[in-house]
Amino acid sequence: MTPDPVLVFLAMGAVTYVPRWFPLFALANRTLPRILLEWLELLPPAILSALIAPALVTAGCPKHFQLLTPEFCVAVPTFLVAWKTRSLALTVLSGMFLFWIAGMFLQ
């Protein structure tokens, strides 16, 4: 017996929506402590770093540590462009250009 696809779709929506809605509802009229707000500001860079770092410093199958991958060689100057300019468009364009250049020379 297979579950009704509409019921599965609605259940998946509820499971996704409720954890996002609950903190907004529970904390809407409260002032959070400054230390908590400062800590929450650190979460996006930490999560982004945790997602990106393994792709930059590992290679092969099975994965092994390799620092001088083309991705890492492109990420360092791209990071510097992002830090210096604070422009998403310029960062993306410079990263794509550098990756194209690296693909020509580092193969």
Per-residue pLDDT of 3-61, as tens digits, reads 798 999 999 999 999 999 998 999 888 998 999 999 999 999 999 999 999 988 888 88
pLDDT category, 107, cuts 50, 70, 90? Answer: low
pLDDT at residue 106 tops 80: no
pLDDT per residue as tens digits for the range 54-100? 988 888 888 888 888 888 989 999 999 999 999 999 999 999 999 99
Residue 99 Rama label (left phi>0; alpha psi -120 to 50; beta):
alpha
Question: Which residue spans within 1-107 are E strands per DSSP?
Answer: 58-59, 64-65
Domain limits for position 70: 5-105
The per-residue pLDDT for 84 is 96
Number of domains in the chain: 1
The per-residue pLDDT for 33 is 92
Distance from the Cα of residue 36 to its chain's centroid: 21
- Here the tokens at position 21 are 């809605």
The per-residue pLDDT for 2 is 73
